[in-house]
Structure 1
Amino acid sequence: MVAPEELHRLNDLDLDVYAWVLEHRTGDVTAIAAATGHTIKAVTSSVSRLRSSRLLHVDPDDAEAAYVVAPDTAVAQLVAPLEAQIGERQRVIRDIRENLGRFLPCYLRRRSNPESLDVLENVQDVRGALNQASVTCSREVLSCQPGGGARVPEAMEEALRRDETMLRRGISIRTLYHHTARFNGPSQAYVVAASRLGAQYRTAHELFGRFIAFDREVAFIPVADGSWGAVVIREPSTVAYLCDIFERTWDMATPFSSTSGQDLGQVSREINETIVRLLGAGLKDEAIARRLGMSLRTARRHIADIMDELDASSRFQAGVAAMARGLLDLDGNAAEEPWHEPSANGDVQGAPERH
C-alpha cells in the first residue's frame, strides 16, 4: 500500500504523465519524456509514483504496455485497508468501554452519597472528569480562573481547542480572570480568538477562587491542600450557591474585550487602588499577590512604587495618604486621578509584568 507521504509528493509532472498515458496507452518513458518535455529520469520517477498510488498499471511482461486507472478506483483500493483498520480500532474501543464500564457501579457504591460530592486526588482523574463533563455539557460553562501572568501558550492552545468544540455545539462559555491577565500576551491572544467564537470574558481585581461549573449541575473546586486534586460537587443547592457567587462577581467585573491604553490604564488604577486598600487592612505581601493573581515579585514592586509615590513609611500611612489624596474610593468606584498614565506607545506604566 502506498505510504501517505507518497501521495503528498504527487505533482504537476505526474498529472502530465497520467494524461499522456491515458491518451496513448503506453508506458514508454522515452516517448513520454519527448512528448512532455521532461527528463527520462523525472518521468521514470513519476511512473513509479503513479503505480504506487494505484493510478497507473504497467504490464509485468511488457513495461511499455500501460494504462491508467480511474481515480475513484485507485481511492477505493487505497482506502479499503484503512477503513478495515478503523473498524478494528472501533471494535477495540467498544470492548474497552464495555469491560471497564462494568466497574462503574462498584466505584459509585464507594461514595457515601453519589448526589453530593466526590474528591479526585490526582490530576489524571481531574482531567478525565473535566473532559467527560465537557462532552456531556449541553447549555453553559461558568469558570473562574485566578492568576494573571503565569499562562503557558501551549496550555492556552489546548484550552482553545476544547472551548471551540463546545462553542460550535452552541454552549455558552463565560470566564472570569484577574485584571493581571490583561497584561499577559498568551491570555490576550486566547481571549481574542475565543471571543470571536462567542465566548465571553471579564476581569476583576479580586476573585473568589478557582471554580468551573457545567450546566449548573456539577461544579469543580480545588481541594484545600493546594494539590492538583479537585472536589466535584453535584448537590443542587451548593452548585446553585457557587453559581450565584459567580454571577455577582461577573456583574461587577470589566469586559475583557480590548487592550487599548485607556482600558489598561483603568485596570492599572483598580489594581493599585486595591493594593492600597489591602495594605491598609494589614495583609502581607504574599496574601496581596495571591488575592490579585500576580507573582510575589510583581506585587512587591507595586507596593514599593505606591509607597514611594505616596511618600509613606508604613502601610497604614499609605492608606491614609491615599484617602487624603482621593485615590481610594470607599464606594468602590475608581478615583478620578490616575495612578499612572499610559505611555505614548499604549503600555501602562506600573502594569504587572508578563511572566
Structure 2
Amino acid sequence: MFISDQTRAIDSPARPSDREVALYRWVAVNGRMDPERAADELGLDHADLDAAVASLTELGLLKPDLHDPARLRPVDPDLVATVVTTSMEAAIRSQQAELHHIRDQFAGLRGHYLDSLSRGSVDFEVIPGVEEVRAALNRAGAECTEEMLTSQPGGNRVPEVLQEALARDTAMLSRGVRMRTLYHHTARFNGPSQAYVATVSALGAEYRTAHELFGRLIVFDRKTAFVPERGDTWGAVVIREPSVVHYLCEVFEQAWTQAAPFSDAAADGLELVAKDIHRTIVRLLAAGLKDESIARRIGMSLRTARKHIADIMESLGAESRFQAGVLAAQQGLLDDSPGSPEAATGA
C-alpha cells in the first residue's frame, strides 16, 4: 500500500501552564521553593500551589536540593526541553521519511500513467479535484513558452488567489510569454483586482473587460486548454485536440476584440460604468434569462444582480420582465450607447 492504514499521531509533550510558569519564575528568582511565601505572593491557595509544584517536579523543572531534600531548586529548562522533545523529534523524522517514501512511490507511477496516455487518446483528460487542477495549471504554466489566454468570469477575485497567481504570472512574463486576460466589467469595481492588474500590466500583461463572457477558459501556447468540468465541481477538462483548441482560441479572440481595456471604475466614470452594466441587464431581461443566468453572464453575485434587476424594473415602472423589455426597447435602452466601453474600443 502507498499509505499506511493508520497515520501515527505525534504525541505532544506535556508543557507548563501559565500558573506553573509563574511559579517556576518565582523559584528561579528566589533560588528555592518557599510554599508559604510563594502562595502569598502569587495569589494561590495551597491546593493550586501543590498541584503546580507536582507538575513542575514531574516535568523535571524542579528538583530536590542535594543538601536539603525538603527544598526544591529550579533546573535548566533547556536541558529539560531536550529530554522532553526527544521522542517527538524522533517521531517527526520518522514521518518525514515516510512522507518522502510515499512521494517517491507516487512519482514512480508517473511513467505508467504516461504510458497509458500514449496507448490511448490524450486529446481530453478530466481532472476531478481542485488541488489536482491547481497542480496541472502550475505545471502547464511552467512549460508555457509563448502565450497564455485566460477568460476569468466574475467581478471579485480573492486576494489570496491573486497573490498566489502573482508569482506564477511574473515568472511567465519574465520568460517572454504574452499574457492576455478577459474579465467582466464588474472586476473594475474590485480593489484587489485593480491592484493586481496594475502590477502585472506594468510587467507586460494585457487585460480587457466585457459585459458578458463565454465562460472560464485558460489556453497555453494554443496547444492545451483548460475548461471547467460540467456541474458544480471544481474539476477541469484538459483539451489537447488541435481543432477544438483552435476553436476555443477563436472564441477568445472574438471576445477580446469586442472588449474594452481594463481600467478602474473611477477612471471611466462610476456613473457611466453602472449605466453600461444596467443596459446589459436590461438586454438579458428582454431575452428572458433568469436571475441566476444574468448574474453568471455579467459576473455578479445573485444577490447583487437581483438588486439591480429590482432597481431597473422600478425605474422603468415595469411589473414583469416582459414589460421591462418592451419599455426598455421603447426608450432605446437596448441600443449600444456611444459612451459604452464597447464603443470606446471601436468594436
Do Structure 1 and Structure 2 share a fold, with TM-score over 0.5? Answer: yes
Q: How much has 1:264 moved relative to structure 2?
A: 4.1
Name the structure 2 match of 1:181: 187
Q: Aligned letter for 2:247?
A: Y
Choose from 99, 106, 113 the match for 1:107: 113
Q: How much has 1:155 moved relative to structure 2?
A: 1.3
**Partner-residue secondary structure (3-state), 1:273:** helix
Name the structure 1 match of 2:197: 191
Distance 1:165 1:96, change over 3 A: farther
| 1:214-253 paired onto structure 2 within 5 Å | 214-253=220-259
Q: Where do 5+ consecutive residues of structure 1 fail to align? A: 1-93, 338-355
**Partner-residue secondary structure (3-state), 2:288:** coil
Asked whether the equivalents of residues 188 and 263 of structure 2 are also in contact (C-alpha less than 8 Å), the reply is no
- Length-normalised TM-score, structure 2: 0.65
- Length-normalised TM-score, structure 1: 0.63
Asked whether the equivalents of residues 184 and 210 of structure 2 are also in contact (C-alpha less than 8 Å), the reply is yes
- Cα distance in 1 between the residues matched to 2:149 and 2:269: 24
Q: Where do 5+ consecutive residues of structure 2 fail to align? A: 1-99, 341-347
Choose from 299, 316, 320 the match for 1:314: 320
- Cα distance in 1 between the residues matched to 2:192 and 2:146: 27
Asked whether the equivalents of residues 189 and 264 of structure 2 are also in contact (C-alpha less than 8 Å), the reply is no
Q: How much has 1:97 moved relative to structure 2?
A: 8.8
Write out per-residue CA displacement over residues 160-192 of structure 1, whole angstroms, 9 at most, x where no aligned residue. Answer: 121111111111110001111111111111111
- Cα distance in 1 between the residues matched to 2:180 and 2:120: 30
Q: Aligned letter for 2:249?
A: C
- Cα distance in 2 between the residues matched to 1:158 and 1:122: 18
Q: How much has 1:140 moved relative to structure 2?
A: 0.5
Q: Aligned letter for 2:254?
A: R
Q: How much has 1:109 moved relative to structure 2?
A: 3.9
**Partner-residue secondary structure (3-state), 1:207:** coil
- Cα distance in 2 between the residues matched to 1:247 and 1:299: 27
- Cα distance in 2 between the residues matched to 1:297 and 1:102: 48
Q: How much has 1:214 moved relative to structure 2?
A: 0.5
Name the structure 2 match of 1:272: 278
| Number of aligned residue pairs | 241
Name the structure 2 match of 1:72: none
RMSD (Å) for aligned C-alpha atoms: 2.4
1:134 paired with 2:141, answer yes
1:285 paired with 2:291, answer yes
**Partner-residue secondary structure (3-state), 1:313:** coil
**Partner-residue secondary structure (3-state), 2:337:** coil
Choose from 114, 138, 151 the match for 1:144: 151
Write out per-residue CA displacement over residues 18-73 of structure 1, whole angstroms, 9 at most, x where no aligned residue. Answer: xxxxxxxxxxxxxxxxxxxxxxxxxxxxxxxxxxxxxxxxxxxxxxxxxxxxxxxx
Q: How much has 1:275 moved relative to structure 2?
A: 0.8
**Partner-residue secondary structure (3-state), 2:192:** helix
